[in-house]
Amino acid sequence: MTRYFQKEVPVNLFSPLALGDLQLPNRLVMAPLTRIRSGQSGVPGELVALHYTQRATLGLIVSEGTYPSHAGQGFPGQPGLVEPEQLAGWQAVTDSVHAAGGRIVAQVMHAGRVTHEATNGGYPVVAPSAIAITGSTRTYDGKQDFPVPHALTIDELPGIIAEFVRGAKNAIAAGFDGVEVHGANGYLLHEFLSPTSNVRDDAFGGSPENRARFVIDVVTAVAAVIGAGKVGLRISPEHNIQDALETDADDVAATYGALLGGIAPLGLAYLSVLHADPAGEFVQHLRARFGGNLLVNSGFGVITSRDEALALVRDDVADAVVVGRAAIANPDLLRRWQEDLPVNEPNPLTYYADGARGYTDYPALAS
């Protein structure tokens, strides 16, 4: 009897990938990118829909951070997942992306102390501890110093978890294919992880295990409601941004080890890690501890290049690569990188502006 063996096809950046319930045609993921084009109402409009739809050939689009409650809004012009009008706006976005053959998940983000009452409509600014960020923030009333936040009590924490759950449910109702829980970049969940922003002395502060507990509780609750196969988590250990500092390597390893040990049994769609050294021992240990799909983003310092992205997948550093600025400037980034064609350079002056300039007017290559 003759036996035929199928030759194993090498995995590369352009290979398909299953992320939980999501089936990706390639491993190039659009990063969650704050673009503040949704006005004071937080309703994404036609311009937002066009922006995302232009990039639908990417394997997965992760939306900009969307607030699950008014208190969680961090920026003027940020879109929300709260009001019916916001959900209707997002439904138009997701319908358009799907019609173009794309997949899109909502990044659910509570800003925590990285906001101001003049931005979030007068709601109390909350955090794990009553410690303000040094510096100022842009509000609807101009630049203002960050306020000292209200330290959430244990009795208030279930309400915050409920906000994340409602945000996730609303995202699915608005047509998103899943959600990414935002546990990075100094916002509320990251504030619980960092020993400089979390100085609590209860079950949610102090030890690495305690500081990881609230993030585990949030992710567990979201997964229970919409299904773990539709949930990813984004983290940024050692990123040291917005005063959520993590400078003790042993503490960082213990904190994120506890976090991933707590969520690994859930069977999430993916873990997305923003870190300057994704191939290093630390991130690869987190990958092993998680036991599932790893998406990596090599950080804000240098724009991710085609060669770097190709190598990260080819060398099995990650299952997929998350890119930001290259996706901003190239709506047809997949084609440009597949065919090794020239790319547009992004214009930083338009990242946080209004209107189409630097948002939907980057040219695609002619067919």
Could you give the CA distance from residue 93 to residue 176 in angstroms, rounded to a whole number?
A: 9
List beta partners, residue 232: 180, 270
Indicate if the alpha-carbon torsion angle 127, 128, 131, 137 is positive or negative: negative
Q: Is 270 helix (H, G, I), strand (E, B) or coil?
A: strand
Q: Is 23 helix (H, G, I), strand (E, B) or coil?
A: strand
2 Cβ contact partners less than 8 Å away, ≥ 6 residues apart: none
CB atoms within 10 A of CB 10: 8
Q: Give burial (CB, 10 Å; 0-12/13-18/19+) of 310.
A: middle
If we measure between CA atoms, which residue out of 310, 336, 318 comes closest to residue 274?
318
List beta partners, residue 323: 30
Q: Which two tokens stand for residue 261?
A: 């040990």
Query: What number of CA atoms fall less than 13 Å from residue 156's CA on the CB side?
Result: 9
Query: What number of CA atoms fall less than 13 Å from residue 162's CA on the CB side?
Result: 5
Could you give the CA distance from residue 7 to residue 316 in angstroms, rounded to a whole number?
A: 19
Angle between helices 157-173 and 208-226 (to 10 degrees): 40
Active-site positions read 187
